[in-house]
Chains A and B, each alone.
Chain A
Amino acid sequence: MIAPAHTVVQRADSDTASRLIPALLIGLSITFLMLILVVPVASVIGYAFSRGLSVYLAALQTPDTVAAIRLTLVTAAIVVPLNTVFGVAAAWAIAKFDFRGKQFLISLIDLPFSVSPVVAGLVFVLLFGAQGWFGPWLRDYDISIVFAFPGIVLATLLVTFPYVAREVIPVMQLQGRESEEAAISLGAGGWRTFFRVTLPGIRWALLYGIILCNARAMGEFGAVAVVSGHIRGLTTTMPLHVEILYNEYDLVGAFAVASLLMLLALVTLLVKAVIEALGSRRRRSV
């Protein structure tokens, strides 16, 4: 006879030892998370507002901070659309066609996930830096890539490269090809098929990939630190500005900018939760 799953729990609750085990495990989980995650994250708000709201607001309005916010937003505005186009294109090729070397291609796309951010920055310094492969040529034409805005964009492109592709590929694979094939055989064009048939099915995964890509693009530190040159007000993104303020012992300033980045992370998680809720409701209604 097959008993329903919950009888195990009921039987388990009959002796005291098994009443203690859940309490112990839940207690351990909560203590661990408090120490390593909740308290540090809460401290960002605590330190940012440690000298009051007016000091916090003033810290966010210094010219260097405003410049850092602008640079971060502009970088994300370039990087996220590019990686979105790439991610959808890669997903279409991988999910809708069979070709040799597909698995290898997927591994290559995943590569930036496992490369250290510092190495991701380093490669562009070796390409475009003064002693890099294209260094002399760039100097002759007076173009600066490293320690300038283009380097920041390139490094961010590299570290956020897989995010959209990673979310969209499995969903598109799950979709199969029949609907698209039907649409094409009924005379719809390729773009129309994509926008009317494919896109509705992948939109939540696509949105999730985009917000993850955006969070990483705005928050990237290591790769950008290597290529930025730390020129205040010019090549410092928000995370780099946090570092500069922190190293100058401007704790309120550092944590004020950090609080904005934390807000970005919380909004990202919130959007994710909403997407998951919508996704599961849709699945249930199907």
Chain B
Amino acid sequence: MATARARPLVNASVLPGFGLTLGLTGIFLTLIVLIPIAALVLKAASLPPSDFWRIATEPRAIASYRLTFGASLLAASFNAVFGLIIAWSLVRYRFPARRFIDAIIDLPFALPTAVSGIALATVFGPQGWIGQWLAAIGIQVAYTWVGVVVALTLIGLPFVVRSVQPALEEVEATLEEAAESLGASRWMVFRRVILPTIAPALATGFTLALARAIGEYGSVIFIAGNLPMLTEITPLLIVIKLEQYDYLGAAALGLVMLCVSFLMLLTINALNGWRMKRLVGRR
């Protein structure tokens, strides 16, 4: 598609309904998404910059960013490692539970966050099915930052697996065989042939999991303990400010979160571009 030369706003087409469908899309988008988000930006912008800065950088907020971003990065990294291992196992090996595992990978997508929240909090709690064994060896998961990481790992799990799986299926066996016949070890084949091929997909999966984790609320608050400065995530801090009718404070933190969302969206789009270029380049 040529973008450099000037082209008309709409290319002529014999198909009807362009005005209707685009108009409907525009109205919905404006009413449901754009106006509400503009309201948040305007509300936060009504604060003098110094006040905005003070609210956005107060110690309690900083502590919540540290937990939210730290735990999200850790969870997305776990997902990158285990997601790759799971995708690899699903694509390369045939074993009894394969179909079952392939089917349940998407469960965190469909499972309401409140359900995974109370389930994790109870299972990893001191008397829970897993928590009691961990307690015996002195590890506490529920009501600590470790619990936050566990919850974020659960909800991010499908992103890496579902991004990497199709990429792994695309890796050409002939390339691997060529490398092996030239004397490369299996590890070298993985590092030099397979990893570069799936790197864009892995990066996309990691970023999607990270974006989801940063905004997550429902599955975290039950297991987190929610102590200010220690185990309080930023979305929860927004809710607390709203409950105290501190709309400006909530809007300021909301704007910080929104900016991070935009940044993640841009990164995901850039990664998709990278993946597309890789696909086109190979053909």
Which one, A30-38, A52-60, A136-144, A199-207, is touching chain B? A30-38
Assembled-state Cα–Cα distance A152/B251 (Å): 19
Decide yes or no whether B69 CB sits under 8 A from chain A. Answer: no
Assembled-state Cα–Cα distance A8/B186 (Å): 11
With a CB–CB cut-off of 8 A, which chain B residues contact A122? 40, 238, 242, 250-251, 254
Consensus secondary structure, chain A interface: helix
Q: A221: which of B1, B24, B114, B245 is its contact (CB, 8 Å)?
A: B114
Whether B101 contacts A43 by the Cβ 8 Å rule is no
Whether B123 contacts A28 by the Cβ 8 Å rule is no
Whether A29 contacts B32 by the Cβ 8 Å rule is no
Size range of the interface on B?
35 or more
Whether A30 contacts B129 by the Cβ 8 Å rule is no
Whether A43 contacts B122 by the Cβ 8 Å rule is yes
Assembled-state Cα–Cα distance A122/B254 (Å): 8
Looking at A43, A114, A189, A219, the one whose CB has the most chain B CB atoms below 10 A away is A114
Which one, B50-58, B82-90, B197-205, B275-283, is touching chain A? B82-90
Q: What residues of chain A have their CB less than 8 Å away from a CB belonging to chain B?
A: 2-3, 5, 7-8, 11-12, 18, 21-22, 25-26, 28-30, 32-33, 35-41, 43-44, 46-47, 82, 85-86, 89-90, 92-93, 96-100, 105, 107-120, 122-127, 129-133, 154, 157-158, 161, 177, 180-181, 184-185, 189-190, 193-194, 212, 215, 218-222, 225-226, 238-240, 242-243, 246, 251, 254-255, 258, 261-262, 264-266, 268-269, 272-273
Q: What residues of chain B have their CB less than 8 Å away from a CB belonging to chain A?
A: 1, 7, 9-11, 13-18, 20-22, 24-25, 28-29, 32-37, 39-40, 42-43, 82, 85-86, 88-90, 92-93, 95, 97, 101, 103-104, 106-120, 122-123, 128-130, 150, 153-154, 157, 173-174, 176-177, 180, 186, 211, 214-218, 222, 235-236, 238-239, 242, 245, 247, 250-251, 254, 257-258, 261-262, 264-265, 268-269
